[in-house]
Amino acid sequence: MSGGTELTKILSSLSPKVLPDSYVFCTVPEARYGDYAEVHPIASFQEQEGLTLVLTKARAEALDWTYDSLFNCISLQVHSSLTSVGLTAAVAAKLAASEISVNMIAGYYHDHLFVPQDQAREAMDLLESLKTR
């Protein structure tokens, strides 16, 4: 089932939800995609410099891995198409206007935002305001 493509409908259907854990971004030099699957990352991305893993703070600390910042994951809970245009831009612009950084990851069904943990509540309020645009 493909997701929606009309931006106004997607925005009006947003139902953002903060996932319960704290997340961190870690990198493992010389690792390759598939390595460290046993740490159950929520996402991974292969870069030239190594493997980036997004995992819970608790898992990173259990592994004694370093990280720079704590993030909350906000799932937008709207099924947008991977070919829809404008959702990332609308969300990023809204958060940027309030100086909130965002790292977005698209899954097949939903988009997920990683925002600084201390700004998650404000980010949620801003996302809710997008619904009335």
Beta-bridged to residue 46, according to DSSP, are 51
In sequence order, the 6+-apart residues with CB closer than 8 A to the CB of 3 are 78, 79, 80, 81, 82, 84, 109
Name the CATH topology of 7-130.
VC0802-like (3.30.2130)
The model's pTM? 0.89
pLDDT at 87 (0 to 100): 82
Q: Does residue 127 register a pLDDT over 90?
A: yes
pLDDT at 80: 82
pLDDT of residue 9: 83
What pLDDT, on the 0 to 100 scale, is given for residue 132?
Answer: 57
| pLDDT over 90 (residue 78) | no
The predicted structure's pLDDT at residue 14: 82
pLDDT tier for residue 77 given thresholds of 50, 70 and 90: confident
